[in-house]
Amino acid sequence: MKTAISFVALTAALSFSATVPPIKQLPFGEVDGKPISIYLLKNAAGMEVTITNYGGAVTSIKVPDRNKALGNVVLGFDSVAPYQTTTSYFGALIGRYGNRIGKAEFQLEGKVYHIPANENGNALHGGTTGFNKRIWDAKDVSTAKAPALEMHYLSPDGEMGFPGNLDVTVRYTLDAKNGLEIDYSATTDKATVLNLTNHTYFNLAGAGNDTVLKHRLTIRADHYTPVDGALLPTGVVQAVEGTPFDFRHGNVIGSRINEDNEQLKLGKGYDHNFVLNEPHTLKQWAVRVEERSTGRVMEVFTDQPAVQFYTGNFLDGTAHGVGGDFKFRSAICLETQHYPDSPNHPNFPSTELRPGEKYHTVTIYRFSTEE
């Protein structure tokens, strides 16, 4: 009898710990007369993520440090207004084309397509009004095990010059092992190009801390794509060996960032596309970041062929958000993606999507601590 009672108690305790609190929806402001919300996802381990349906942006991620103290590790704001005016893409979903398209144009099936240029005559992150400035439909698709929020956006044929009605769904899931999974899918009714990503800025010491230069970074990439003066890829795929771009065995980010290196000067630091070694699977991490003072670790898993590693070189302290001023190099972005400007480089993996095909890709940012 005694055993039976403790068995019942144990199953009750287990099912309780596996149940996640429902997603909370809170007001975040208004855009064009439409109410914008923020959604709070919590897992049983205590990790918390907030996401807004404006730009589908991740606005905060709270994870424990080695002493179990929760801290926010991403740059964000506490209302929608700053997201409308910023040009830094804080936390946002990026589309239709992550990073740059040279001369803001590309050819597909013999036709030339023009995107409204928003940087030196080139298109950055989808043109003048990218997915980061769109209102997404948000739906709670949580299961008993994991809170999940699904974002949907229908980008009409010709929006920002891109062909095809593009139906995009992005699902954010917070798993039980402190992983934030981003699952992107899309279909089109005309041949098009597509490169979706997320532009969250991380500082594992806590948002608002001065720099990320002491973070230690490992990237499983033997190659990267060097850039020209406009930060467009030159088309060359270069070995990292013997350069400040060699993060294969783990390096402190600041250890070589100020070296007299042409590529670092062009990027004002790291702002480069790293070509991830194959296989591109979710079975092993592609990037690992460690922050010694808090013991926080972030591992990035992705099925994408590349990652843009950006050290916040264009942040200048003028944006003031949760945690303080967002200063020069006070965060890193790890934008899992296809190579920049692929539509104009036939030697890069293709970013074309055709009717009848399904675009599907997954990236997970997983947090843990070490002593």
Nearer to ligand BGC, 43 or 52 (CB): 52
Question: Is the separation of the CB atoms in 277 and 315 below 8 Å?
Answer: no
Q: Checking phi first, is residue 294 left (phi over 0); if not, alpha (psi -120 to 50) or beta?
A: alpha
- Residue 89 as a binder of ligand BGC (CB under 6 A): the answer is yes
Residue type, 9: A
Exactly one of 159, 181, 199, 223 is catalytic; name it.
199
Q: Binders of ligand BGC among 91-110, rule CB under 6 A?
A: 99
Exactly one of 159, 181, 290, 335 is catalytic; name it.
335
Least Å distance, CB 316 to ligand BGC, is 11
Nearer to ligand BGC, 299 or 335 (CB): 335
- The closest of 209, 206, 213, 200 to 327, measured between CA atoms, is 209
Q: Binders of ligand BGC among 216-245, rule CB under 6 A?
A: 231
- The closest of 324, 371, 330, 323 to 68, measured between CA atoms, is 371
Least Å distance, CB 313 to ligand BGC, is 7
162: its two tokens: 């891109």
Reduced to 3 states (helix: H, G, I; strand: E, B; else coil), residue 132 is: helix
Instruction: Give the Cα separation of 52 and 26 in Å (integer).
Output: 9
Least Å distance, CB 333 to ligand BGC, is 6
Annotation says 262 is catalytic: no
Nearer to ligand BGC, 71 or 267 (CB): 267
Least Å distance, CB 353 to ligand BGC, is 21
Question: Is the separation of the CB atoms in 199 and 83 below 8 Å?
Answer: no
- Residue 314 as a binder of ligand BGC (CB under 6 A): the answer is yes
Q: Binders of ligand BGC among 104-163, rule CB under 6 A?
A: none
Q: Residue count at the site for ligand BGC (CB under 6 A)?
A: 10
- The closest of 292, 288, 330 to 311, measured between CA atoms, is 330
Q: Check residue 303 and report its DSSP letter.
A: S
- Residue 88 as a binder of ligand BGC (CB under 6 A): the answer is yes
246, burial (CB in 10 Å: exposed 0-12, middle 13-18, buried 19+):
middle
Nearer to ligand BGC, 88 or 342 (CB): 88
* Region near ligand BGC per CB under 6 A, out of 103-111, 282-290, 307-315, 323-331: 307-315
* Region near ligand BGC per CB under 6 A, out of 13-21, 24-32, 44-52, 308-316: 308-316
- Residue 271 as a binder of ligand BGC (CB under 6 A): the answer is yes
Residue from 159, 291, 335, 341 in contact with ligand BGC (CB under 6 A): 335
113: its two tokens: 């397509």
Least Å distance, CB 89 to ligand BGC, is 5
Instruction: Give the Cα separation of 235 and 331 in Å (integer).
Output: 27
- The residues near 203 (Cβ < 8 Å, ≥ 6 apart) are 73, 74, 75, 209, 212, 215, 330, 331, 332
Annotation says 335 is catalytic: yes
Nearer to ligand BGC, 173 or 198 (CB): 198
Backbone angles phi, psi at 252, to 5 degrees: -75, 130
Residue ranges that bind ligand BGC, judged by CB under 6 A:
88-89, 99, 231, 271, 308, 310, 314, 333, 335
Active site residues: 199, 335
